Amino acid sequence: MTENGKNEETLKSYWAKDIAELLDISTSNLRRWSIDLENEGYTFYRDEHHRRAYLEKDIMPLKKLKEFLANNMSKNDAIKAVVSMFPTDNNGVITIPVNDDEVRLSKLELQKIVQEAVKEAIEEEREAMFKAFEGKINDTIEKRDRLLTQHLQATLEERRLQISSAAEERKWWRFWK
């Protein structure tokens, strides 16, 4: 349980790069917006290293701030409007446990990892196919060479028989002449 009575396990937190990607803004913009919101009284939860942890409840105020700024509202007015629309309690500072067993990846990082794994798998499959193809070609060439050698030997044997037969015929005819 946390200081404000909420169960820590029910609070899902996000890293700044994940929220920035979700909002399609830079992490430096997110950091500036967060500081401005905190200066006006909005509180973000912090981990044991005092880093901001963005929770589900923080996404909508940040989206609203982006919307206000996109509609040409001044930054100060937009921040004041967001803080008034989404008030926070003063018990907002809690310690969110950092689980070392849990790895957090952004969508892009996960896509890169999957793409690399797919590339490696394709390359391994390609190598296996080339080796199988090379083996099949070598077997085919070897079989062809054996058949060619057998055919050449049979042809040579036939020629030898023809030559010896012709030589015997001549001798026999010569004998009677």
Q: What pLDDT score does 91 carry?
A: 47
Enclosing H/E stretch for 54: strand 52-55
Residue 2, pLDDT > 50, answer: no
Distance (Å, whole) CA 86 – CA 81: 9
- Rounded to 10°, the helix 27-39/56-70 angle is 100
In this structure, which topology does domain 8-103 adopt according to CATH?
Answer: Multidrug-efflux Transporter Regulator; Chain: A; Domain 2 (1.10.1660)
**Residue recorded with tokens 């070392």:** 100
Q: What is the pLDDT of residues 19-66, one digit of tens each?
A: 999 899 999 999 999 999 999 989 888 878 888 888 888 989 999 999
**120-172 pLDDT, tens digit each:** 999 999 999 999 999 999 999 999 999 999 999 999 999 999 888 777 666 65
- Contact between residue 33 and residue 16 where contact means Cβ atoms under 8 Å apart: no
Round to whole Å and give the CA distance between 2 and 121: 45
Q: What residue ranges in the chain does DSSP mark as E strands?
A: 13-14, 45-47, 52-55, 95-96
Tokens at 163, concatenated: 């030559």
pLDDT of residue 4 exceeding 60, the answer is no
The per-residue pLDDT for 69 is 92
pLDDT at position 99: 44
Q: Where are the domains positioned within the chain?
A: 8-103, 105-177
* CA distance linking residue 130 with residue 122, whole number of Å: 12
Q: Give the model's confidence band at 100: pLDDT under 50 very low, under 70 low, under 90 confident, else very high.
A: very low
Beta bridge partners of 47: 96
